[in-house]
Structures are given as C-alpha cells and as structure tokens.
Amino acid sequence: MNDKNTPFVYLASQSPRRRQLLEQLGVAHELLLPDAHEDAEGLEAVLPGEAPARYVQRVTGLKLDAAMERLKRRGLPPAPVLCSDTTVARGRTIYGKPADAADAARMLRELAGTTHRVLTAVAVQSGRARRTALSDSRVTFARWTPAQIRDYVASGEPMGKAGAYAIQGRAGAFISHISGSYSGIMGLPLFEAAGLLRAFGLRV
C-alpha cells in the first residue's frame, strides 16, 4: 500500500497497460477497481448515432462517476482519481472490445489495409473539481491475410482490446504508420495525463 503522506492517485482501471504507463510517469497510485456487483462493462454501451469522440468522453465520465462513488462508499482517504477509456473508430463506426473470436476477426478484416482513429479520453477528479483531455491518434494497418488474422485471434491478444488489437503486442508487425500518441493508442496518453495530474498539484 502507498504511504498516505506521499501524494498519490487512484487509478480506476483494470488495464495493466494503464498501470504500466502511470508507473512510467513516476506517479504513486493505488487501484480503485469495481466491486463484483458493479456493471463496469455496461457503461461502455454505445448510444444510437453517437460520434466516437463524444462516446469515449461520455464513457470516461461515467467510469469516473462510478469510481468517485466507490471511493466514498469504501471510506478511503481522499486523493485524485484518474479514469481513462479508449475506442477505435473508422468514420463514425465504433470498434469496442470484441465479444468473441469471430467478432475480433470481423473487426480486423474491416480495419486491415485502412487508416483508423484511436481516441483515448482521460479524466481526473479531486473533490468536486474535474479536468478532462482527449487524445486523437491515427493508425494505418497493412493488409492482413485471412491466415494472419486467424493466427492473431487464436493468440488471444485481441480479447479485451478496443479494435481487437494491442499496438504493443503482435499487431505491431502490421502497423505501417501512426500519427499522434503511442501511449494514447496503448490506453493512457502520457502528455495529456501528466498535464491533468500537474493541474491537481502532483509532481510528474
């Protein structure tokens, strides 16, 4: 556990990648994960006609609302809470986490040989004050053969990842170009996150 005399943040995310990126910033943190009764996945439902940027910012806000309730309910020491959410989009089509292997293969077939956006929203709240930021990057995939898609899906890596891939994993071999934030594509844009945390007085 963190020494409560040391400034720290609560990270309200189950993603090991976000924890790794926060460690990269040198920020002391503790996980603030959902209780068993919380429907964390249900917060990620897309509203009809919702634009990708609006969607990812709204979901991040809902996740932060839930985390603040959790903090209060558990009677934990006050500290800033950081939340983040990532989505992949082509045009107005949102690619969230695949439901199963077949869904992952479908997403990869549609994204192969194209350029798509990776949008990651970040929000930090301390007390009543909340600050937000949005990272908007572009990723270009080379073409994938059906066998390559099949092998990648079989590796299990696409599951639990927006757009059914992890840039830091095997999918990196098929990415010909990126524009924007590599860490944002991973799930926590370090530049934006650092700015938000500094605004709440943390040393980054």
Q: Are 80 and 10 in contact (CB under 8 A)?
A: yes
Domain limits, the chain: 9-199
Distance CA 203, CA 149 (A): 43
Q: Residues 97-123: pLDDT tens digits?
A: 999 999 999 999 999 999 999 999 999
**Selected catalytic residue, list 35, 39, 85, 136:** 85
Note the pLDDT of residue 1.
45
Regarding predicted confidence, which is higher, 42 or 166? Answer: 166
Question: In this structure, how many other beta carbons lie within 10 angstroms of the beta carbon of residue 183?
Answer: 24
Note the pLDDT of residue 204.
85
Distance CA 34, CA 13 (A): 9
Note the pLDDT of residue 7.
76
Distance CA 179, CA 29 (A): 29
Whether domain 9-199 has CATH 3.40.50.300: the reply is: no
Mean pLDDT for 139-160 is 96
3 is catalytic: no
For residue 160, is it left (φ>0), alpha (ψ between -120 and 50) or beta? left
Which residue in the block uniquely carries the two structure tokens 């986490």?
A: 97
Asked whether the predicted pLDDT for residue 18 surpasses 70, the reply is yes
Distance CA 31, CA 38 (A): 16
Mean pLDDT for 156-181 is 95
Note the pLDDT of residue 164.
97
Q: What percent of the chain has pLDDT over 90?
A: 87
Note the pLDDT of residue 36.
82
Asked whether the predicted pLDDT for residue 2 surpasses 60, the reply is no
Asked whether the predicted pLDDT for residue 64 surpasses 70, the reply is yes
Asked whether the predicted pLDDT for residue 173 surpasses 50, the reply is yes
Asked whether the predicted pLDDT for residue 14 surpasses 90, the reply is no
pLDDT-based confidence at residue 6 (cuts at 50, 70, 90) = low
